Structure 1
Amino acid sequence: MRDSITLDSTRLQRLQQTPLWDFALALYAEPGVEAACLTLQEKAGLDVCEVLFHCWLYSCGLEAMPKAVARQREQRRLWQCHVTEILRGLRRDLKASAAESESIAALRETIKRAELMAERENLQRWQAWVWEASGEEQRVANVAEMSLDAAKWLRNQLFSTQNDQCSGGGLEEQNIWLPTLQTLTCPLDPHQVPR
């Protein structure tokens, strides 16, 4: 149950003390997290930046309000489609040529850095979205009870309002991603046992 009336100021302070970019880099460096993120991106059609955003909120005891996040998700999806995915495609297309040419390898590295900058910009926009909420629009709420199964909580956050562009599917189809989501959420809860 969400406490939609008053946000816990301690939780918001924790969120402010940990920029999303820094949190994302630390979580991504955890064992298995990079592979889990890439699996969710490639096979479930999820945006890694959004996945990391929800983990960031959860780590501070907060969650995004479903209707509010659905509107932001569309804006972030457009950024990913028009900027990040274009750069990713170029980088991947140059992989074979880069093995044979130093100049193409250098170009590919430049594109790789630009792709990372695009991801950082996307994360910064997710973070700004939380801070720029007006008094009338609540975008995040306290997680009243930290879930005993953070992976299921994350699944619900990612798939509950997923747009038709992603292969969200039904609950049964979404459950196939639980082991991958478990890898992501294990570092968020030190009491959780890896599966």
Structure 2
Amino acid sequence: MQNSIALDSTRLQRLQQAPLWEFALALYAKPGVEAACLTLQEEGELDVCELLFHCWLYSCGLEAVPRAVARQREQRRQWQSSVTAVLRGLRRDLKDSAASSDSVAALRETIKQAELMAERENLQRWQEWVLEAHADEQRVMNIVEMPQDSAKWLRNQLLFSKANTHSESSLNTTSALCEALQMLTCQLDPHQGAR
């Protein structure tokens, strides 16, 4: 991680003007992003909300302070496991039954909407964490120099201090995960492929 310079108020202002939920919806709608996020979630066991959070910061030339984000990550992970994952599991469990029952299909759609609301709440909490930081607590910093390899930068953001069953080396060697990160960051930084 490179040393930061004083937090640029212009970058922080841009972040304040671009709500994380709206950013996430716009990025997710770009070609290949949904599939990349699902690959990273399913095969890499990464939290898509945190992934989108780091992309949001990156889009404004910012990154999370590693020690600060490690504490927040645990709170967000608890929300994901106790709320979002439960809803996702219910939705998936009802898939087969929904094919033959309109009432189960309607229930499954309601659960799907609740799952989406849980994701939105999680993203809102990430956003509040950044924007409501106390003056004496730095939670984000400038990216001093935009990385030549934004996929590697993103991988490092997601893995820093992460207690995960997948080690950094497994993400380096799993081509599907590397390709998913590359796809995501190419949509985030269209100039990445031209460098």
TM-score, normalised by the number of residues in structure 2 = 0.94
Matches for 1:49-128 after TM superposition, within 5 Å: 49-128=49-128
Contact 1:62 1:143 in 2 (8 A): yes
SS in 2 for 1:193: helix
Contact 1:159 1:168 in 2 (8 A): no
Contact 1:44 1:167 in 2 (8 A): no
- Deviations along 1:51-74, one digit per CA (max 9) or x if unpaired, are 000000000000001110000000
User: Which residue of structure 2 aligns with residue 168 of structure 1?
Assistant: 166
User: Which residue of structure 2 aligns with residue 17 of structure 1?
Assistant: 17
User: Which residue of structure 2 aligns with residue 3 of structure 1?
Assistant: 4
SS in 2 for 1:3: coil
SS in 1 for 2:192: coil
SS in 1 for 2:142: strand
- Deviations along 1:72-92, one digit per CA (max 9) or x if unpaired, are 000000000010000000000
The alpha-carbon deviation at position 103 of structure 1 amounts to 0.5
The alpha-carbon deviation at position 17 of structure 1 amounts to 1.0
User: Which residue of structure 2 aligns with residue 27 of structure 1?
Assistant: 27
The alpha-carbon deviation at position 158 of structure 1 amounts to 0.4
- Deviations along 1:87-132, one digit per CA (max 9) or x if unpaired, are 0000000000000100000000000000000000000000000011
Contiguous gaps of at least 5 residues in structure 2: none
Between stretches 58-67 and 178-187, larger displacement belongs to: 178-187
The percent identity for this pair of structures is 70
Corresponding letter in the other structure for 1:53: F
Structure 1 outlier segments of 4+, above 2 Å: none
User: Which residue of structure 1 aligns with residue 148 of structure 2?
Assistant: 148
Contact 2:33 2:187 in 1 (8 A): no
Q: Give me the CA root mean square deviation.
A: 1.2
Would you say 1:139 and 2:139 are equivalent positions?
A: yes
Contact 1:159 1:174 in 2 (8 A): no
Corresponding letter in the other structure for 1:25: L
Would you say 1:179 and 2:179 are equivalent positions?
A: yes
Work out the CA distance in 2 between the residues paired with 1:189 and 1:95. Answer: 36
The alpha-carbon deviation at position 160 of structure 1 amounts to 1.7
Corresponding letter in the other structure for 2:126: W
The alpha-carbon deviation at position 168 of structure 1 amounts to 3.1
Aligned length: 190
Work out the CA distance in 1 between the residues paired with 2:180 and 2:106. Answer: 33
Contiguous gaps of at least 5 residues in structure 1: none
SS in 2 for 1:63: strand
